């Protein structure tokens, strides 16, 4: 028996049967941060919301952004819409960690309690600072596929 043909027709390369997938490690880190930030923010909001409402609300916002970014990165290879959602989530995450990190260093009185993004993610081993950079680089290296026009 001979080797499998390299194309399906003359001049047309054979398509891979396995769809391109997001990095499972990157998606897993986003989901772990989502779980950690959600747990922390829920406990903080339930116990001590009046102590630092802005800080605790920011932790909840960070949790939502991690969930959205994780899902969007997992699906970004499918089409440009998911890639745009992933890029927006990662961009928001980067701006958030830079803004809150800077403000918490320059004006610690603004944040009487830590958030996920305080100190550039110091309480989470600086992963919140590094993760959007990795996410952006990953999205840049994996362009989305074009959406096929509907044939209905």
pLDDT tens-place string over residues 49-92: 999 999 999 999 999 999 999 999 988 888 889 999 999 999 99
Residues 6+ apart with CB under 8 A from 87: 136, 139
CA 135, CA 30: separation in Å to the nearest integer?
Answer: 10
Q: pLDDT band at residue 144, thresholds of 50, 70 and 90?
A: low
User: CA 66 to CA 76: how far, in whole Å?
Assistant: 15
Local confidence band at 19 (pLDDT 50, 70, 90 cut-offs): very low
Decide which of 94 and 145 is more confident. Answer: 94
Whether the full predicted model's pTM is greater than 0.75, yes or no, is yes
Which has the closest alpha carbon to 121: 25, 53, 29?
A: 29
Q: Is the pLDDT of residue 1 over 70?
A: no
What is the per-residue pLDDT across 98-136, written as a single tens digit (0 to 9) for each? 999 999 999 998 888 888 999 999 999 999 999 999 999
- SS3 string, 90-101, reads HHHHHHHHHHHH
Least confident range of 14-18, 21-25, 136-140:
14-18
Has residue 93 got a pLDDT over 50? yes
pLDDT band at 146 (very low <50, low <70, confident <90, very high): low
What are the phi and psi torsion angles at 73 (to 5°)?
A: -65, -40
Q: Is the predicted pLDDT of residue 11 greater than 70, yes or no?
A: no
Eight-state DSSP code of residue 5:
P
């Amino acid at each position: 028996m001979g080797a499998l043909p390299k194309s399906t027709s003359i001049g047309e390369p054979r398509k891979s049967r396995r769809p391109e997938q997001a990095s499972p490690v990157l998606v897993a880190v986003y989901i772990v941060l989502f779980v950690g930030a959600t747990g922390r923010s829920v406990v903080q909001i339930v116990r001590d919301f009046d102590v630092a409402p802005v800080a605790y609300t920011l932790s909840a916002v960070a949790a939502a952004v991690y969930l959205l970014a994780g899902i969007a990165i997992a699906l970004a290879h499918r089409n440009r819409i998911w890639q745009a959602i992933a890029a927006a989530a990662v961009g928001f995450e980067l701006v958030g960690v830079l803004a809150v990190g800077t403000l918490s260093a320059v004006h610690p009185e603004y944040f009487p309690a830590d958030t996920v993004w305080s100190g550039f993610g110091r309480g989470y081993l600086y992963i919140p600072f590094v993760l959007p950079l990795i996410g952006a680089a990953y999205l840049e290296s994996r362009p989305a596929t074009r959406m096929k026009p509907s044939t209905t």
